[in-house]
Amino acid sequence: MVRSARAGPTLAASGAAPLASLPGVGPALAEKLAARGLLTLQDLWLHLPRQYEDRTSLAPIRQLQAGVAVQVEGRVEAVERGFRYRPMLRVALSDESRATLVLRFFHFRAQQAAQFAPGTRVRAYGTPRPGQHGLEMVHPSYRVLGEGEHGLGEALDPVYPEVEGIGPANLRKLVGLALERLPDADTLELLPLEVRDALQLPGLRDALVTLHRPPRDADVAALQAGLHPAQRRLALEELLAHQLSLRRQRIALQQLGARPLRGKGALVERLRASLPFALTGAQQRVYAQVRDDLAQPRPMLRLVQGDVGSGKTVVAAMAALLAVEAGRQAALMAPTELLAEQHLANLRGWLEPLGVRVCWLAGKVTGKARAQALAQVASGAAQVVVGTHALMQEGVAFHDLALAIVDEQHRFGVHQRLALRDKGQRDAVPHQLVMTATPIPRTLAMSAYADLDVSAIDELPPGRTPVTTIALAAERRPELIERIRAACAEGRQAYWVCTLIDDSDEVVAQAAQSTFEALTLALPELRIGLVHGRQKAADKQATMRAFKQGELGLLVATTVIEVGVDVPNASLMVIENAERLGLAQLHQLRGRVGRGSAASSCVLLYQSPLSAMARERLDTLRRSNDGFEIAEKDLQLRGPGELLGTRQTGLAAFRIADLARDADLLPRVHALADQLLQAAPATAAAVVQRWVGGAARYASA
């Protein structure tokens, strides 16, 4: 039994006060803060420092180490202004250790340069690095000292995430004013005392004060690593809020009810008998879980994850047949027309021989064809509907949607998934089956997908050959072109993927275009195709079809081919600028080869020199073909935001918590969520309101 802390107002009523209530915050300043998402006092309380500067002590210049931030004090020995390539100010400081440090500035005013007269005492804080004449600090923060001035800082100085148009000193002052309005500890506290005691964590008020104003003896290393008890206290409550939000959504949705699908599975058996392959043990296990879910009078909420080529679509097809057998409809939604078309081809090939009518509805279906498709969907004549986000548009009305299948769900905005869910009958919601070929690390599944039951197809079909992965420096490109020539001469096919990352699709398209032109010159005997995101859909489809049918030997493409392209004869893939991509995306791309019985290779072409993180990514990919192991590593290296996709409103947007770092808190979070939902629902609601607020509905879509 949990003895809940008093469920007072959320981060107290005072926390909801607008920032305009602070002295000196007029409309212009409030607008700048709002642009950064800072609207209330609570937002400033939770706008935590990104790092700390230790100005409580001085380091002798002789003992400085490159890369270690410190505070130094010395007298100006010499000043030099230069304008050879761009304006530059160099100030030489020396101290009692008789060593010299150079302060270098590229942006400065004449008045600033005049401050550094020889003999002036200066105190500077920054990170030394090797320069032309020993160590130097580039653009350190500094202060010119008066002759009698000696005092050091009493505490660590917080450095806040920047807010455009507001200087660091002004931002620190605003946070200080907001902290003066922190309520007393009892009003703020929502976590049970026994939970805090068990983990040796402070109360919320103490944690906030410590993080904004850490004492001079605070453990700086723990603070920088995010492992200080004050940070853990906030991370625990934030993880709990997201967990509760998702779980409450699941409870609310399941109370709406769904109509059970309890057929004998005759159509499924006919499909299994007609397939040219046997289901793997993992496919059979996951299908059994799905079938059991669909038989319940509450909506199924299941995520099926499986590596590229593990056979998720067959499981989805079998689930769709259970809906059809019950006289109802199933819909499958994919994020791109390429992927949706591939699902359409598979489902038509499998289901139409069984007498099941499969309908296609995508953005490019227009005019009479669209009107006809909409009529079939509305009348129930279309039993299985396949499409893109066009399925969720207002004009699409289903006759009786029983099952909504969403592929690669992290590529959809949450509003889109809600729109498909709302296409069911008024008295019940459709069952939901979500599929992803991006294996999800266990820690992420435990938190970001707390509203879903998670199944894994963790076994590849027999006959699939592991892909050999090698990393090559870009200088060895000519060797690679010869390798492609040899592979295509033997009747095999290859991909060349251009992954130049830029804010503009146009730049990626240009990179693909120039690569296509260079390879066409280098390999005149080959038929080469080009696919990128700026082409018309019809042109893309035509090129992909030609490649699939073996009419093209080499396909130059952007990452548009990352999901859903199945060409068993393609056995070689080159990924250019591989160092720029995350592990999960590289693994997805690599999954386009090795789909047949021929030995397959993936070449990661990189630009030297590699950063330490890029080297680790490429090494991981070379070592492993296991998508689940790769996903865990990707979470460690990149964090959850990129893994889930930027549009996962309410999921990965943690302010303090870090799923990789704080994974050990999750079992405690799960247990506490169970207890609060049962014993203290008002406290649970207050925790969600504090951290998630209005994002709650979208968090469970």
Q: Domain boundaries in the chain?
A: 12-52+158-218, 57-152, 467-624
Residues 6 or more apart in contact with residue 697 via CB below 8 angstroms: 249, 418
* Nearest-angstrom CA–CA distance, 158 and 209: 12
CB burial readout 236-270, b (16+ within 10 A) else e: bbbbbbbbbbbbbbbeebbeeebbbbebebebbee
Q: What is the pLDDT of residue 108?
A: 83
Q: How many residues does the chain have?
A: 701
* Nearest-angstrom CA–CA distance, 290 and 556: 39
* Nearest-angstrom CA–CA distance, 566 and 548: 8
Q: Is 391 helix (H, G, I), strand (E, B) or coil?
A: helix
- Does residue 53 come out as left (phi exceeding 0), alpha (psi in the -120 to 50 range) or beta? beta
Sign of CA dihedral 196, 197, 198, 200: positive
Characterize the bridge pairing of strands 301-306 and 51-53. Answer: unpaired
Single out the residue of 208, 39, 67 nearest to residue 138, CA to CA: 67
Structure tokens belonging to residue 123: 């105190």
* Nearest-angstrom CA–CA distance, 196 and 451: 26
Peptide bond into 609 cis (omega under 30): yes
Q: What is the pLDDT of residue 248?
A: 86
Residues 6 or more apart in contact with residue 31 via CB below 8 angstroms: none
| Per-residue pLDDT tens over the stretch 511-523 | 888 899 999 999 9
In this structure, what are the phi and psi dihedrals at residue 498, rounded to the nearest 5 degrees?
Answer: -95, 120
Q: What is the pLDDT of residue 64?
A: 92
Question: Long-range contact list for 638-643, CB < 8 A, 24+ apart?
Answer: 638/582, 638/583, 640/444, 640/448, 642/582, 643/410, 643/438, 643/440, 643/441, 643/444, 643/582, 643/584
Count CB-CB contacts under 10 A for residue 213.
17
* Nearest-angstrom CA–CA distance, 337 and 602: 25
Q: What is the pLDDT of residue 61?
A: 93
Question: Which amino acid makes up residue 24?
Answer: G
In this structure, what are the phi and psi dihedrals at residue 90, rounded to the nearest 5 degrees?
Answer: -120, 130
Residues 6 or more apart in contact with residue 217 via CB below 8 angstroms: none
Give whole-number Cα distances, 304 to 287, 414, 453, 531, in Å.
10, 18, 9, 29
Structure tokens belonging to residue 577: 């600028």
- Residue in this structure with the two tokens 């295509």, named with its chain if needed: 488
* Nearest-angstrom CA–CA distance, 679 and 142: 54
Q: What is the pLDDT of residue 701?
A: 39
Q: Is 223 helix (H, G, I), strand (E, B) or coil?
A: helix
Which residue numbers in the chain have pLDDT < 50? 1-12, 501-504, 641-652, 696-701
Q: How is domain 57-152 classified at the CATH fold level?
A: OB fold (Dihydrolipoamide Acetyltransferase, E2P) (2.40.50)
Contact 255, 220 (CB under 8 A): no
* Nearest-angstrom CA–CA distance, 352 and 358: 7
CB-count burial class (<10 Å; 0-12, 13-18, 19+) for 329: buried
R_g (Cα) of the chain, nearest Å = 30
Structure tokens belonging to residue 640: 């959850």
Characterize the bridge pairing of strands 70-82 and 121-126. Answer: antiparallel
Angle in degrees, CA 207, 209, 212, rounded to 5: 105
DSSP letters for 482-502: HHHHHHHHTT-EEEEEE----
In this structure, what are the phi and psi dihedrals at residue 260, rounded to the nearest 5 degrees?
Answer: -70, 150
Structure tokens belonging to residue 267: 């159509």
Q: What is the pLDDT of residue 316?
A: 96
Count CB-CB contacts under 10 A for residue 68.
10
CB-count burial class (<10 Å; 0-12, 13-18, 19+) for 63: exposed
Q: What is the pLDDT of residue 234?
A: 94
Q: Which residues pair with 129 in a beta bridge?
A: 136
Q: What is the pLDDT of residue 374?
A: 92
Characterize the bridge pairing of strands 600-606 and 570-576. Answer: parallel
Contact 408, 435 (CB under 8 A): yes
E-strand stretches of 106-219: 121-126, 129-131, 134-138, 141-144, 157-159
Give whole-number Cα distances, 612 to 67, 154, 609, 615, 621, in Å.
16, 37, 10, 5, 14
* Nearest-angstrom CA–CA distance, 179 and 195: 25
* Nearest-angstrom CA–CA distance, 468 and 293: 39
Contact 133, 23 (CB under 8 A): no
| Per-residue pLDDT tens over the stretch 381-421 | 999 999 988 887 778 889 999 999 988 755 555 555 566 66
Angle in degrees, CA 452, 458, 459, rounded to 5: 150
Q: What is the pLDDT of residue 156?
A: 80
How much helix, strand and coil, in percent to the nearest 5, is found in the chain? 45, 20, 40
* Nearest-angstrom CA–CA distance, 566 and 591: 9
Q: What is the pLDDT of residue 360?
A: 92
* Nearest-angstrom CA–CA distance, 393 and 371: 14
CB burial readout 398-417, b (16+ within 10 A) else e: bbebbbbbbbbbbbbbbebb
Q: Which CATH class is domain 467-624?
A: alpha beta
Question: Which amino acid makes up residue 96?
Answer: E
Q: What is the pTM of this model?
A: 0.68
In this structure, what are the phi and psi dihedrals at residue 397, rounded to the nearest 5 degrees?
Answer: -120, 120
* Nearest-angstrom CA–CA distance, 456 and 264: 25
Contact 433, 313 (CB under 8 A): no
